[in-house]
Amino acid sequence: MSDPVQALYEARAYPAMSHPLSDPAVSGVGAMLGGLTSRAPSAARILEIGCGSGLNLIPLAIRWPESEFLGIDLSAASIRTATELAAAAGVRNIRFLAADLRDFDPGPEPFDRIIAHGFLSWVPDEVKLALFRFCRQRLAHDGFATVSYNVEAGWAARQPVIAKTRSILAAGAADPMAALAILRSVTPEASSEIAIIDDMMAKGPDILAFDDFGPVNHPWSLDRFVQSASEAGLLWLGESDPSTNFPTQVDPTTLARIQSSAASPLAFHSDLDVVAGRTFRSSVLCLKEAPIDPRISLERMFDLCVSIQSNYSNDCNNQIFEAIDSFSPLCVSLADIQSVLKEIPEKKLASEVFRGIREGWVRARLEPVLFDPRVPKRPDLGAFRLECARRGFPLVDIWHRPCGFPAEHYRVLEAMDGSRDLGELARLAKTHCPDLRWDPWMAHLAGRGMFAG
Ligand SMILES: C[S@@+](CC[C@H](N)C(=O)[O-])C[C@H]1O[C@@H](n2cnc3c(N)ncnc32)[C@H](O)[C@@H]1O
């Protein structure tokens, strides 16, 4: 096999994961605040490019049974896993195809959403261009693509460490973990590279082979991303999670200084990437001639659903954010928030929610997330999570976040098919994982919506 990218993904299974930033209920907010009015994801055609073993796409297909899903990947092994997983979970509105994006022809019908997560930075330039071209040709006129990539600003400090580790590997070290251990032993403790080496080692061998030491690893600047997309006829609308448009670790004074000296909004965001040492972006792209209206109406803001983020501190004493927090862990509509805050004018509510999103205190979605966070009497993970548990894959929670477990916990999770009561499951846990703190663990699973939907 001559393509080193294909050879790697056929030979080793890429760790199965879901990616909340690629969830159309989240990225739809980024697109909407960028001014795009697009079709609801609950009645849409959704394609994922480089879908791996399907852990990202299948939960979305379960959530939106009226939508049509297609996942493609170069790796036939990953596509086999994805197809088996969907079949075992009884999901019928999804298909997986082993295909190379460079010559993939999906037929004439356009896609309302295209997801390419963890793809752009890990493929050769020719495939990067094919991705932009594909989005240009295959997106619906009001559709959008969510494309993630590694950002040069934050990766710059990692590159010398990668280069040194590769030299140690070339000199005969067994694998990247061993080479990193050697590099660490000869690097002074005071060096800033120690933290980078530790961070790489913490990823472990399964991730490192694909990540820092993948056959291709091209971090890009935002400028380059926007420019390449623009050359293909695509427009950058902002980040899929709008709270990441402005990194929260940059203080307001520095933010204002960068803003006043930047030559353009794009230069401002690029400068911010450097100051914040940003490593990753998940950006939203649409067609250049898509129907964009940058004025966000009150009505559109009231289409959003919100929940409070864990970094919100209620020391702010803000009754709107407190009202949102009172619904935790649920995500509810602005109308629901307003119902407990009657005296607040709609405009004030909308502008505070906008501020909360921008500051990263409020998480917004296109749809509510409503579930019972209490531990059920007979826990049932549902067919998809049960199949993931059997395979030792992470379980995807109601927020589309992956949650991995130590191997012995899976013996208990596999038994949560609704046929056993809490007493039986607790006894099973005692046998397989005697150190597990049963009640907090179950409360954690229920609080993440693992037993819902
Ligand atoms: C880093 S993995 C990411 C997998 C998944 N999207 C994720 O983020 O968890 C990149 C994926 O892209 C696939 N890929 C690479 N080149 C491709 C191509 N030319 N056409 C289709 N898929 C490709 C690989 O097989 C691999 O599964």
The DSSP string of 203-220 is HHHHHHTTTTTSS----B
Residue pair 376/447 in contact (Cβ under 8 Å)? The answer is no
For the chain, what is the largest distance between any 2 Cα atoms, rounded to a whole number of angstroms?
A: 70
Residue holding tokens 């709270």?
243
Q: What is the pLDDT of residue 243?
A: 86
429-453 residue pLDDT tens: 999 999 999 999 999 999 999 998 6
Q: Is 270 left (phi over 0), alpha (psi -120 to 50) or beta?
A: alpha
**Mutation test residue for ligand 1: of 123, 129, 213, the one with most atoms within 8 Å of CB:** 123
CA of 14 to the centre of ligand 1 (A): 9
Domain ranges of the chain: 4-153+219-287, 157-208, 298-365, 382-447
294-344 residue pLDDT tens: 888 899 899 999 999 887 776 667 899 999 999 999 999 999 999 999 789
Q: How far apart are CA 386 and CA 219, in angstroms?
A: 36
Residue holding tokens 């997983």?
85
Looking at domain 4-153+219-287, its CATH architecture is 3-Layer(aba) Sandwich (3.40)
**CB of 117 closer than 6 angstroms to any ligand 1 atom:** yes
State the average pLDDT over residues 58-73.
Answer: 98
**Mutation test residue for ligand 1: of 21, 74, 121, the one with most atoms within 8 Å of CB:** 74
Query: Which ligand 1 atom is the nearest neighbour of the CA of 148?
Result: 8
CA of 50 to the centre of ligand 1 (A): 3
**CB of 393 closer than 6 angstroms to any ligand 1 atom:** no
**CB of 116 closer than 6 angstroms to any ligand 1 atom:** no
CA of 49 to the centre of ligand 1 (A): 7
Tokens of 442: 């179950």
Give the pTM.
0.94
Q: What is the pLDDT of residue 453?
A: 65
Tokens of 130: 């094919």
Residue holding tokens 């966070």?
373
Query: Which ligand 1 atom is the nearest neighbour of the CA of 16?
Result: 9
Tokens of 362: 């409020």
Residue 1 pLDDT exceeds 90: no
CA of 214 to the centre of ligand 1 (A): 12
Residue nearest to atom 9 of ligand 1 (CA): 17
Q: How far apart are CA 235 and CA 136, in angstroms?
A: 10
State the average pLDDT over residues 26-32.
Answer: 96
Q: How far apart are CA 280 and CA 290, in angstroms?
A: 26
